[in-house]
Structure 1
Amino acid sequence: MTAGTDHTQPVGDLDTDVSADVEALYRDGITARRGAFAPEWADRLGEDVAAAFEEALSRPGGAVGRGPHRYYVEIHPEQIRDFVGLVDHPWVRSVCAAVLGPDYRIVELGFDVPLEGAVNQPWHRDFPMPEETRSERRLTSLAFNVTTVDTEEDMGPFEIAPGTQWDDDPSFEHGMFPPKSAYPRYEELAVRKYPRRGDISARSALTIHRGTANLSAKSRPVLVLGVDGPEANNDERHDMAVTRAYWESLPQRVRDHLACPVVEELTPITQKHTIEGLVMGDA
Structure 2
Amino acid sequence: MVGKLGTANFTEVDIDRFAEDLNRDGICVIRGLFDSELIEEWAVAFDALFQKRQQQPGGVAPRGTARGYVTLPWVAPFANTAVFANQTILGILERVFYQEYKLVQLAADIPMQGSEYQEIHRDFRPLFCDRIVTPLYALAVNFPLVEVTADNGPFEMARGTHVMPREEGLVKIRAREIAMEQFFMQPGDVMVRSPLALHRGTPNRTPQPRPMIVMGYVMHWLHTHKVDLTLGQDYYNNLSPQLQQLLRCQTVEQLPEEARETYVNFQY
What is the TM-score with the length of structure 1 in the denominator?
0.82
Matching residue's letter, 1:138: P
Aligned to 1:42: 39
Q: 2:73, 2:52 → 1: CA distance?
A: 13
Contact 1:123 1:183 in 2 (8 A): no
Q: 2:175, 2:142 → 1: CA distance?
A: 25
Q: 1:45, 1:85 → 2: CA distance?
A: 13
What is the 5 A alignment of 1:78-93? 78=75, 80-93=77-90
Matching residue's letter, 1:265: Q
SS at 1:237's partner residue? Answer: coil
Structure-2 change in CA distance of 1:186 and 1:104 (3 Å): farther
Q: 1:124, 1:20 → 2: CA distance?
A: 27
Q: 1:62, 1:186 → 2: CA distance?
A: 39
Matching residue's letter, 2:212: V
SS at 2:182's partner residue? Answer: strand
* CA RMSD of superposed structures (Å): 2.5
Residues 66-119 of structure 1 show CA distances to partners (whole Å, capped at 9, x for unaligned) of: 111100011232253452110121111111222224521000010011111111
What is the 5 A alignment of 1:49-128? 49-78=46-75, 80-101=77-98, 103-128=100-125
What is the 5 A alignment of 1:172-251? 184-185=174-175, 188-234=178-224, 236-251=225-240
SS at 1:228's partner residue? Answer: strand
Structure-2 change in CA distance of 1:186 and 1:74 (3 Å): farther
Matching residue's letter, 1:258: L
Structure-2 change in CA distance of 1:67 and 1:244 (3 Å): same
SS at 1:189's partner residue? Answer: coil
Q: CA deviation at 1:185?
A: 4.1
Q: CA deviation at 1:241?
A: 0.8
Of residues 250, 253, 270 in structure 1, which corresponds to 2:242? 253
Residues 113-133 of structure 1 show CA distances to partners (whole Å, capped at 9, x for unaligned) of: 111111111111112112398
Q: 1:194, 1:251 → 2: CA distance?
A: 36
Q: 1:20, 1:134 → 2: CA distance?
A: 28
Q: CA deviation at 1:136?
A: 5.4
Contact 1:161 1:187 in 2 (8 A): no
Structure-2 change in CA distance of 1:73 and 1:230 (3 Å): same
Q: 1:136, 1:275 → 2: CA distance?
A: 24
Contact 2:173 2:180 in 1 (8 A): no
Aligned to 2:251: 262
Residues 195-234 of structure 1 show CA distances to partners (whole Å, capped at 9, x for unaligned) of: 1011111000111111111112222101100001123222
Give unmatched runs, 5+ long, in structure 2: 1-10
Aligned to 2:144: 147
